[in-house]
Structure 1
Amino acid sequence: MSRFVLPVLPLVAAATALPASAATGDITEMLLIGRSAGQCAAVVAGGTTPGTPVTQWTCWGTAGQVFDARAAGGGYTIVDRNGKLCLAVKGGPKTTGAAVTVETCAGTKDQVWAPIGRGGDDVSLKNAASGLCLAVGATGRQDGDPLVQMPCEASATQTFVTAPRKGTSSWSGILPTPMPAVASTVLPNGKVLLWSARNRFKFGYGEIGRTYTAVFDPVTGKAGERVVSNTNHEMFCPGIATLADGRVLVNGGSSSFATSLYDPKTNAWSKGAAMNVPRGYQADTVLGSGDVFTLGGSWSGDLGHRMGEVWNATSGWRLLPKVDGDDFAGNDPGGIFRADNHMWLFGWGTKDVFHAGPAAAMHWIDTTGDGAVKSAGKRGADPYSINGSVVMYDAYRLLKAGGAPGYESGDGTTAAYTIDFSGGPTKPVRVTRQKPMLFPRAFSNAVVLPSGEVVVIGGRFSASTSSDANAIMVPELWSPATKTFTRLEAMYVPRHYHSSAVLLTDGRIFVGGGGVCGTCVNHPDAQILTPPYLFAADGGPAVRPVVTKSQTAAVRGATLKVTTDRAVAKFALVRMGASTHTINNDQRRVPLTIAAKSGTSYTLTVPADPGLMVGGNWLLFALDAKGVPSVGKVVRIR
């Protein structure tokens, strides 16, 4: 799963050597992604006529955006797979700003581009005839900005990364939903509960007391709508938690004090205890005790000082006066209204919470008594990254990807880090920078697969809540083995602000929503992504192992007995979480140890740690030696 980069050929003296790469020779089916705006080199309108200009455009991986790089003349010719024409500065003029076009491939110097290393996998491309570099002209940030040649410099407009096709992935068609899936969660029956606001496409402030919801069936592609009013709660922009007893807790949002509970056993909503502090855009996480911690949320109620609270099934909400949301807020240009939103919170043990961001400073929170806070250091060199995405891909190990310096301002980042907080409050948190994503993203979603890989989906190049412009259409797959990102097939509909994504029981990913913010284009639809691990090497469907028998419940620290239809290599549990506004704090994957084996019957060890094995519904997956997963079996951990 390594990303292939253009190897720098030693015959070109001007080229700077890149780090060693597994790639040698020609590179096929690649996108050429500009670092200035995360857009792709594109032959205008997919044209096949010599002389057609090349611009940058939103990456779709469609005709005119897919190229082959072929070693030639001390560099590479870059050939458009659609028109079989070569990227060129026709005639090799040394004129600054001369247009880049596609021309009939002739092997001339004006069609040869030599990579210059810019760090990591980034390169500039120097034209062998002119000695000038490929650059994005005009603003360098918009669809249609031309590709030109300019004097070589280490600028974003002259920096590119190659993204060859690796493996197979695919999307379903566009599946209508009654409203945009602003929030979603997978139910034990495999269906997806989703909801929007007081109206299908419009939210409001104040206590109107209703929410449009639906249950989507990924098998039939159909969804049944329901308006929930019995809890007197507009559940727009709330906190969400999936409880130890299988219910879904929704708190705050437009109805800023309210709490609602959904029971998948009865398909019923009920009213929960009111919070002590009004809040919206806050985040929740379930503790090892089964209680729920919430923090932040100045979008609703007064600005600032959104103290932490803990929900208990018996006693309701308890305020933590010594846990002030302002102390966890980032330096957002929008002030505290935005700075204490969408925090990354993960339970540890029965009572502690690890705060990973989006602020650069991380913390430990003790939820007993009045609460207590202590520093966990900074997230490496990573600054405030609001609307980034974080997921637990392994036991107490997080992948953080993307984010922006302002909720509604600034550009998304490609920065990715792993965060290891397995040592708990008494040990240092280990933060490790990863190779960057291919695309800058704000408002993306991240979903962990049973393999431990993470899919990062959607987002925008620039942080804005009101437009589909600059949407990132190509998902990426991060591998914990190679620590790199590779591209997947582009989706059909932009998914960014007010979208959600969750892992389905069959190992595919539901992605939906977007809109519901006044001037937004609404997207009342969904698509389902089939990841590469469900395809064979020839591009056909992979043969999947089958879990033929499994316990439906397991106790922490005990064993779990499973039988499969063939030999498998690994098992993993993935907790069924809930997604909204880039956050899915309850989502986590835990690999299981095989304690004993007899034929195709396995005894698995369930970790005893209640902070890791948070009670509730998990999906048990068996994976074969090639990493192909079974369909997940629902197991209640308690």
Structure 2
Amino acid sequence: MINSENVIIILTALILCFSISILSEREPIPFQMQLDRWEVLLPSIGISAMHMQLLHNGMVIMFDRTDFGISNLSLPGGMCRFDPSDTAVKFDCSAHSVLYDVVSNTYRALKVQTDTWCSSGSVLPNGTLVQTGGYNDGERAARMFTPCGYSETCDWIEFPQYLAQRRWYATNQILPDGRIIVVGGRRQFNFEIFPRPDSHGYRGSRFDFLRETTDGSSENNLYPFLYLLPDGNLFVFANTRSIVFDYKRNRIVREFPEIPDGDPRNYPSSGSSILFPLDESKNIMEAEIMVCGGAPKDAFPRAKSQQGFTRATSTCGRLRLTSPNPIWEMETMPLPRVMGDMLLLPTGDIIIVNGAGAGTAGWENARDPVTRPVIYHPFDHRFSIMSTSSCPRMYHSSAVLLPDGRVLVGGSNPHIYYNFTNVEYPTELSLEAYSPPYLSFTSDSIRPHILTNDKVISYKRLFNVHFSIPQFLTIDLLSVRIVAPSFTTHSFAMNQRMVILKLLSVTHEDLTNSYKLDVLGPSTAEIAPPGYYMIFLVHAGIPSSGFWVQIE
């Protein structure tokens, strides 16, 4: 006979079994996920951070576009911008660029005159940001920002018709001689060099590979993935194809197999890509890239015609460019993602953050925000799913690595203008910081702390780093890395680069756990172009804070 007591026991057992079955269906959460965290730094900076660049004085310059309409931040001193060609508002007294001070967590407005929408950038060896292209009156503009103190009044200097061609959705790369190459853009099957040559009537150079990789009206080869290789040539990935390109002689040196599965990876399918760290401590220099995420070929036209939002691509491809017979090694991300940002962490691991699980880039073209970053561990080919952000970061979001090891995240505006109400994903003006597990206090005992370091280093020349460590040092687990900060926009971190330097000796200086390192500077400007880098010490997988060095 079933009495009331038996009924309670049976119901309790059923509830327990149901709970266990639910828990067993969840994705396993690595222990390290308890050690990472998100932090809202500022609820609003007045603009949406579509583009970001970390500068060598610890400031971050951010901007969106001048034709979003009136932002939530006024220009100082009653300044205004009059632009008769603006499609949103012709007389605008609001800012569309800010300078953010990481240390004080404050910002000030900057004045940009020409439209920076979907533009590109690189930092010159002297630390000046060169920013190129955009839309409408900004499509041939070059802009320069030279870092100064936060309380000073440095601002954008603009050259509205400097570029040889229209550059909208182009990609930049710093070159070994300190010049910048600007590649592609919408309906631009060419490249040019900044600063432009003195020759009269300079129009840039043809680049037929970009014409060949155009995919109908959606193109899918915009913001091509571009890397300087150790031999001085360029790696270029567009749509599904990739090559080694000799820009000096304007010829293709090598073509690689197409990435398997046929899914395009560039805008508007908008996957992302990184160049793995270049390791000078090894006897042989290898170069390997990785491409992750994106959207199937039909995703853009389906979203535009309101037929639906296609599931994003979940595959990643690794390609060792220096292999005699390179083939794509495919892996599967735990979360499909389009419009993700890939950044190199000081440890050499890769974080993929921001983006959506369905649709493509473009206005109103995506759904299912992916608010959990993943960290990829290249050595053992493993992904870790990390903690959840409370803020969806969709189209027009960005992220950069900070010297303290955090990842600064901002932006997201999938609308033609600023739109804060009655939409699924309002324009986002906030800034967040993501702290990876290596910043947890549980690792403080083995975390190195740089005390002093040479501020200027030279190629193939010895330099010193002095550091301390709280408890113990395992020399075999110590490495020295330099990281070039990226110009991040539209799912690609331009000029991002890490070089692992050759560590020659470690000397214990006294009884307070301090040491001196003798380190060899990079071999060539092809491996590490001249300019400012963050230098990190990594011990047993735990990085120090980064300090700035300049390679001359």
| TM-score of the pair, normalised by structure 2 | 0.78
- SS of residue paired to 1:622: strand
The one-letter code of the counterpart of 1:259 is: A
Partner of 1:149: none
Partner of 1:555: 458
Partner of 2:140: 257
Q: Is the 8 A contact 1:402 1:415 kept in 2?
A: yes
* Alpha-carbon distance between aligned partners in 1 of 2:214 and 2:67, rounded to the nearest angstrom: 32
* Alpha-carbon distance between aligned partners in 2 of 1:278 and 1:375, rounded to the nearest angstrom: 28
Residue of 110, 125, 135 corresponding to 1:244: 125
Identity of aligned residues (%): 19
Structure 1 residues 105 and 496, CA, compared in 2 at 3 Å: closer, same or farther? farther
Structure number having the greater helix percentage: 2
The one-letter code of the counterpart of 1:414 is: S
The one-letter code of the counterpart of 2:294 is: G
Partner of 1:416: 316
* Alpha-carbon distance between aligned partners in 1 of 2:397 and 2:84, rounded to the nearest angstrom: 20
User: 1:604 Cα deviation (Å)?
Assistant: 1.2
Q: Is the 8 A contact 2:174 2:495 kept in 1?
A: yes
Residue of 417, 442, 460 corresponding to 2:356: 460
Structure 1 residues 428 and 235, CA, compared in 2 at 3 Å: closer, same or farther? farther
Higher relative CO (Cα under 8 Å, sequence separation at least 6) belongs to 2
Q: Does 1:378 align with 2:378?
A: no
Residue of 433, 443, 446 corresponding to 1:528: 433
Q: Does 1:433 align with 2:333?
A: no
Q: How many residues align?
A: 475
Residue of 471, 483, 487 corresponding to 1:578: 487
* Alpha-carbon distance between aligned partners in 1 of 2:19 and 2:117, rounded to the nearest angstrom: 54
- Residues 209-268 of structure 1: per-residue CA shift (max 9 Å, x gap): 997210112333222112223xxx221211211222211111111111111111114734
- SS of residue paired to 1:579: strand
Q: Does 1:475 align with 2:373?
A: yes
Residue of 162, 185, 192 corresponding to 2:53: 185
Q: Does 1:606 align with 2:521?
A: yes
Residue of 232, 257, 271 corresponding to 1:388: 271
Alignment RMSD: 3.1
Structure 1 residues 394 and 206, CA, compared in 2 at 3 Å: closer, same or farther? farther
* Alpha-carbon distance between aligned partners in 2 of 1:280 and 1:598, rounded to the nearest angstrom: 51
The one-letter code of the counterpart of 1:558 is: R
Aligned pairs for 1:149-548 within 5 A: 162-167=28-33, 168-175=35-42, 176-198=44-66, 212-229=96-113, 233-254=114-135, 255-265=138-148, 267-272=154-159, 274-298=162-186, 304-312=187-195, 315=198, 319-324=203-208, 326-327=210-211, 329-331=213-215, 335-336=216-217, 338-349=219-230, 351-357=232-238, 359-369=239-249, 371-383=250-262, 384-386=264-266, 387-395=270-278, 396-406=287-297, 408=300, 409=303, 410-422=310-322, 427-434=324-331, 436-464=332-360, 465-467=362-364, 469-515=367-413, 517-518=415-416, 521-537=426-442, 544-548=447-451
Gaps of 5+ in 1: 1-90, 92-102, 116-124, 126-133, 135-159, 299-303
* Alpha-carbon distance between aligned partners in 2 of 1:263 and 1:557, rounded to the nearest angstrom: 29
Q: Is the 8 A contact 2:536 2:545 kept in 1?
A: yes
Gaps of 5+ in 2: 1-9, 72-82, 279-286, 304-309, 420-425, 509-514
The one-letter code of the counterpart of 1:605 is: L
Residue of 622, 634, 638 corresponding to 2:537: 622
| TM-score of the pair, normalised by structure 1 | 0.68
* Alpha-carbon distance between aligned partners in 2 of 1:530 and 1:214, rounded to the nearest angstrom: 23
* Alpha-carbon distance between aligned partners in 2 of 1:415 and 1:448, rounded to the nearest angstrom: 18
Q: Is the 8 A contact 2:196 2:202 kept in 1?
A: no
User: 1:536 Cα deviation (Å)?
Assistant: 4.3
Structure 1 residues 109 and 265, CA, compared in 2 at 3 Å: closer, same or farther? closer
Q: Is the 8 A contact 1:419 1:432 kept in 2?
A: yes
* Alpha-carbon distance between aligned partners in 2 of 1:113 and 1:205, rounded to the nearest angstrom: 63
Structure 1 residues 222 and 108, CA, compared in 2 at 3 Å: closer, same or farther? closer
- SS of residue paired to 2:32: coil
* Alpha-carbon distance between aligned partners in 2 of 1:226 and 1:529, rounded to the nearest angstrom: 26
* Alpha-carbon distance between aligned partners in 2 of 1:238 and 1:470, rounded to the nearest angstrom: 26
* Alpha-carbon distance between aligned partners in 2 of 1:404 and 1:291, rounded to the nearest angstrom: 33
The one-letter code of the counterpart of 1:491 is: S
* Alpha-carbon distance between aligned partners in 2 of 1:573 and 1:209, rounded to the nearest angstrom: 44
The one-letter code of the counterpart of 1:472 is: V
* Alpha-carbon distance between aligned partners in 2 of 1:430 and 1:206, rounded to the nearest angstrom: 48
Q: Is the 8 A contact 1:199 1:212 kept in 2?
A: no
